[in-house]
Structure 1
Amino acid sequence: MASRYPSSLWIRLPLFMLFLEVAFILIFSFLFSYDYYLEYLPKGHNIYPEFQDVNVMVILGFAFLLAFLKRFGFSATGFSLLLAALSVQWTMIVNEFLFHFSDGNLKISLQRITEAVMSTAAVMISTGAVLGKVNLIQLIWMAWVEATLFAVNRWVAVSVLQIGSYTSLMHVHLFGAYFGVMVSWALCRPLPDSRAENEKSTPVSDTFTMLGTLFLWMFWPSFNAVLIASTEKRLTALINTYLGMAASAVAAFSISVATNRNGKLTMAHIRNATLAGGVALGFSASTLRYPWIAMIVGLGAGATSVLGFVFLKKCLEPAVRLHDTCGVQYTFGLPSLLGGIVHIVWIAIDSRENLSVGGYSALIEGGALCLSMALGLTGGLLTGFSLRLKLWKEPHATNYFDDQAYWGFPHLAVGY
């Protein structure tokens, strides 16, 4: 017999989603207005192509990247769209209240929507860590909490630590990865042997996932450059990101072959580690003045990602019961941490003639990096424990990684 939602969730889920959407509509109705002045500036028009690039990344790229499980493709892609739709709206509201409420300036503009879409990447990344092990209402709650905490993290970084708004957004990979990892750890329970088979992929599902990787790979330079005001720095970020991602792709293929006892490529390495260069260069893409440095960073990020999949994943899962479905720690967490460290070191080196200023800037950037790590870990841990409450009707382990628990099928599908 096909798996079914607990009957109480049939009522709670649609009511919960509709309640959130009605609340969003009311908030936008009474508190927000269009920022026509910004939208009709030339810069406001020029941002649209990059906005669409970022939109494709978050909506399509991440959805397909999560679609590698052979019996969880509907949920990976469908849930991603819903989470993105809810998270973007809520992030816009929280961002406006944190950054602009004191000015009485709650506006809607393409730039602010772009910031919200980029922030939503944290939710998409965290979803990869818990994919297949939580139900939809749990995912919505997790997304709501995470979107709020990441906005708070950005506000503290920008308003208190005085780092740039663009740089604060680039913490999205680190925050999302370790938030999701801690949620997964808090929820962890032994995986039944019957469900372990569903955690595998098929050639078709791997092909769809690789399609997501290709979209992300193509558009990642826009993600790292879209909100940079200076034309020169924006072009620098585009070039450095592209070259860094090219280097990380070469590293991913090379290390994947080198670490396989049969000398063959592993699809999990390729679909994830080829993106590591873009993640690592998020912090410093616009400040690195030599392309070869960006290429070295990309090479190191790609190698770090593959080695994490090969060695760390095998150690962490049995040692600390850390089950990361998509390996987000190795795709986003470690490369982002590497990129943050490179950014701090580069600030110190680039300001060597004025060490007092450079040292202070490096210290502030290091503090922002630690803040994102600490808030992501703590917030994820507390959110994970909250998701274990009985009111969420946590799915039984026998329903892990199975679309039939959430989607209607014309017949009982067995091995689709």
Structure 2
Amino acid sequence: MACWKRGRFAVTVFAVELVFLILFGIFAEYRYDVEVETRWFYPMFQNVHVMMFIGFGFLMTFLKKYGYSALSINFLIAALVLQWHILFKGLMHFSPGHYGISVGLTDLITADFTAAAVLISFGAVIGKTSPLQLVVMALLEVPIFAANEYIAVKFQASDIGGSMVVHVFGAYYGLAVAKTIYKVSQSHHENESSSYQSDIFSMIGAIFLWLYWPSFNSAIATSEEQQVRAIINTYLALASCVLVTFAMSSIFDRHARFNMLKMSAHPECNTRGGVAVGTSANFMIQPWGAILIGCLAAVLSTTGFEYLQPMLEKKLRLHDSCGVHNLHGMPGVLAAVIAIIAVSFANVERYGHELGETFPAMANTTDGARTSAQQAGYQAATLGVTIAMSLVGGLITGLVLRLVPGLDQPDEHYYYSDAKHFLVEEGMESLSSKASSDADAQEVKETEEKI
């Protein structure tokens, strides 16, 4: 029994990878669109890939005693999801007349998008779950994510940057899991704080996300015109978001300081413009519109950290470790609302030949082209379905993590700490503190001698 408790994580991961190996061996095959895919999609794939492993990885290191876990488990979960998404999505479209799951560069990009949704969900429960629980959570989330994505495709909703199907889904799925596994001891835990060093590492992740977000929002563009608009709109929204985030941060401090230890100044707030413009990134919203969206996202996100998050924790007992509701949920909903408004004004005069590529259903003469109002309705329906599926899926997953025996729920003492699952040198912190104290004492002594 003791051996099983010690080895259940390894057995589970070995079993999962063995299943992946067998399924890839039986079904997977290459898809060769070499010239188109390599020149068009590979640069975007590289950028998005960096966001998943460096951007999200370092972003999660804000907890002072959870750095090993944040980086390593982010690495683990993303690597698992990449394989699982390719397999599951391929099997969803599998038919007797077509043997095999074809794998091309676009599949790698969409796999990274799925990883982004799962890592966003990870942010809501960071520090309160074990690695085994997170593996199970990822395995359960991918099929639900794929089903929601399938519905969005059937609705022919435009969501080039995934603000609805990635950010909204990932945020509310994670929040539902966090609510289900909530314990009073998770709030105001002694380890739930940052340090000077951890905030700097987190800022590295935020900057990588900020730099590469235009690629995330334009990676799956189907024309050069759409890609250019998506890049420019995201670029401007991100830039304006930074300025307003700094301004809001100083407003919330009575001494007008930029306080990284306060969640209102969380470094990822600077990237919320990329989420808020994601759904409409390829629309003709004009440069001023993109700047306005970035400003709105910054106000919404920072205000959420300052006022809404404490209220949700107090009133609803909803503990959101990384603040994904403020960073992904609300900006994602804002993106959907902006897209609904923008779609309402879409017409041939404004878009010309681009109307059919930006909104395929509005140019589909076979079944009758949608009006702009109808397309806006499908956009709204996609948002509603996404929120519903994410909440229900997260609730079910949370119940599994909480009720199924053997999933290694961490002890309260080990919340927000690497000590349970990583080799951490004992006394390292005390030695560091002692060294700092000795240095301070030496400086005082030298000053006294000079006097």
**Structure 2 length normalisation: TM-score?**
0.86
Picking from 166, 173, 190, the partner of 2:184 is 190
Corresponding residue of 2:357 = none
Corresponding residue of 1:362 = 376
Say if 2:388 is the partner of 1:374: yes
Length, aligned pairs only: 407
Picking from 107, 110, 117, the partner of 1:115 is 110
The CA RMSD measured in Å over matched residues stands at 2.0
Rounded to whole Å, the distance in 2 between the matches of 1:344 and 1:335 is 14
Rounded to whole Å, the distance in 2 between the matches of 1:218 and 1:365 is 28
Q: Which runs of 5+ in 2 are unaligned?
A: 350-361, 363-368, 433-451
Output the amino acid matched with 1:109: G
Give 1:307 shift: 0.3
Rounded to whole Å, the distance in 2 between the matches of 1:346 and 1:165 is 12
Corresponding residue of 2:325 = 329
Say if 2:289 is the partner of 1:296: no
Larger deviation: 231-240 or 405-414? 405-414
Give per-residue Cα distances to partners, 1:208-227, cap 9 Å, x unaligned: 00000000000000000011
Corresponding residue of 2:275 = 279
Could you tell me whether the CA contact under 8 Å between 1:288 and 1:294 is conserved in 2? no
Corresponding residue of 1:200 = 193
Secondary structure at the aligned position of 1:275 is classed as: helix
Secondary structure at the aligned position of 2:189 is classed as: helix
Could you tell me whether the CA contact under 8 Å between 1:67 and 1:73 is conserved in 2? yes
Rounded to whole Å, the distance in 1 between the matches of 2:196 and 2:424 is 22
Say if 2:383 is the partner of 1:387: no
Picking from 57, 82, 89, the partner of 1:88 is 82
Rounded to whole Å, the distance in 2 between the matches of 1:102 and 1:293 is 48
Could you tell me whether the CA contact under 8 Å between 1:44 and 1:111 is conserved in 2? no
Rounded to whole Å, the distance in 2 between the matches of 1:64 and 1:192 is 22
Rounded to whole Å, the distance in 1 between the matches of 2:400 and 2:425 is 35
Rounded to whole Å, the distance in 2 between the matches of 1:410 and 1:124 is 28
Rounded to whole Å, the distance in 1 between the matches of 2:317 and 2:139 is 26
Output the amino acid matched with 1:182: A
Picking from 422, 425, 439, the partner of 1:407 is 422
Picking from 126, 134, 159, the partner of 1:131 is 126
Larger deviation: 7-16 or 216-225? 7-16
Rounded to whole Å, the distance in 2 between the matches of 1:169 and 1:43 is 24
Could you tell me whether the CA contact under 8 Å between 2:164 and 2:336 is conserved in 1? no
Rounded to whole Å, the distance in 1 between the matches of 2:186 and 2:143 is 34
* 1:134-145 matches, cutoff 5 A: 134-145=129-140
Larger deviation: 109-118 or 211-220? 109-118
Corresponding residue of 1:262 = 255
Secondary structure at the aligned position of 1:45 is classed as: helix
Alignment CA distance shift 1:183-1:285 (3 Å): same
Output the amino acid matched with 2:173: F
Output the amino acid matched with 1:151: A
Larger deviation: 274-283 or 103-112? 103-112
Give per-residue Cα distances to partners, 1:83-129, cap 9 Å, x unaligned: 00001100111111224547625111111111101111011111111
Say if 2:248 is the partner of 1:248: no
Give per-residue Cα distances to partners, 1:187-208, cap 9 Å, x unaligned: 1101278x72211100000000
Corresponding residue of 1:219 = 212
Corresponding residue of 2:56 = 62
Rounded to whole Å, the distance in 1 between the matches of 2:426 and 2:107 is 44
Structure whose CA Rg is larger: 2
**Structure 1 length normalisation: TM-score?**
0.93
Could you tell me whether the CA contact under 8 Å between 1:192 and 1:398 is conserved in 2? no
Give 1:295 shift: 0.8
Could you tell me whether the CA contact under 8 Å between 1:352 and 1:358 is conserved in 2? no
Could you tell me whether the CA contact under 8 Å between 1:251 and 1:302 is conserved in 2? yes
Q: Which runs of 5+ in 1 are unaligned?
A: 1-5
Give 1:9 shift: 3.3
Secondary structure at the aligned position of 1:387 is classed as: helix
Secondary structure at the aligned position of 1:388 is classed as: helix
Could you tell me whether the CA contact under 8 Å between 2:163 and 2:276 is conserved in 1? no
Alignment CA distance shift 1:284-1:321 (3 Å): same
Say if 2:220 is the partner of 1:232: no
Alignment CA distance shift 1:57-1:175 (3 Å): same
Picking from 331, 338, 342, the partner of 1:342 is 338
